[in-house]
Amino acid sequence: MVGRAHATDRVRPYQVSGRTTPPGAARGRPRYPRSVPHPSRRPALVLLVLLAGMLAGACGESAPASFDPTGACATDGSAPGAYPDLEAMIPATFMDAAPELLDSGRNCSDANLGSLVDAGIEEVRFAGGTWTFGAQRAAVLAVFTAPGLTASDLADLYLESATSANRTKILAATSPTIEGRSGRRLDTQTGSRTQTVVAWPAAAPDTVNVVITNDLPDARIDDAIAAFEGR
């Protein structure tokens, strides 16, 4: 997720959760504790349904000491400064404030990749910044990159998580055009809280921008998208 030597042991808010039954069990690949409530083991890139709780605890426990952002991917993990080039792609400010948390990392386990495995993706690197506004209101601005990764791939992963989550209702799934690029938006509701995920291609190849919000209105979601300034 060079900064601190430790990474968060919880699944990062910008991480999406994949399947409830990790494909790795059938494929024989090593499984890593899921990233979203991070290894308490829910598929990784972030459990939309638990977004509010995860955002609130994003600075939680430390990640495995064995996480190494260099070389072949042996374990999933994240830490501030792991991939400075990706962190530099996160807007420096949103709502006139810097992110409360900024880090980066990668996932390569089937448990955390979820449906991305079916798309032929073996490793995803990511970076994300988290902003909170009290009363469970929060936003995560993130980027994901992998050879051949598309906005639809990530959107399908989030949709899979939301569909399989208890008490979560799909409110809408749309395909907005952002900066002339075809994106995907998913709006869900869990109890009294609403969550929105917007994914669209970044200007850089094989890279996807993602905005995840909890209990924020459309105007603030638009502001978060605009904060990427076309990149």
How far is residue 34's CA from residue 111's CA, in Å, rounded to a whole number? 6
For the cut 80, the answer to whether the pLDDT of residue 30 exceeds it is no
Which pair of structure tokens corresponds to residue 50? 């638990």
Provide the pLDDT confidence category of residue 14 given band limits of 50, 70 and 90.
Answer: low
Cβ(11)–Cβ(41) under 8 Å?
Answer: no
Span 86-114, pLDDT tens digits: 999 999 999 999 999 999 999 898 888 88
Span 200-213, pLDDT tens digits: 999 999 999 999 99
Classify residue 133 as left (phi > 0), alpha (psi -120 to 50) or beta: alpha
Span 128-180, pLDDT tens digits: 999 999 888 999 999 999 999 999 999 998 888 888 878 889 999 999 999 99
How far is residue 216's CA from residue 196's CA, in Å, rounded to a whole number? 8
Whole-prediction pTM: 0.77
Cβ(126)–Cβ(104) under 8 Å?
Answer: yes
CB neighbours of 77 closer than 8 A, spacing ≥ 6?
Answer: 1, 7, 63, 64, 66, 67, 68, 69, 105, 106
- Residue scoring higher pLDDT (138 or 10): 138
SS3 call for 157: helix
At residue 85, φ and ψ (nearest 5 deg) are: -65, -35
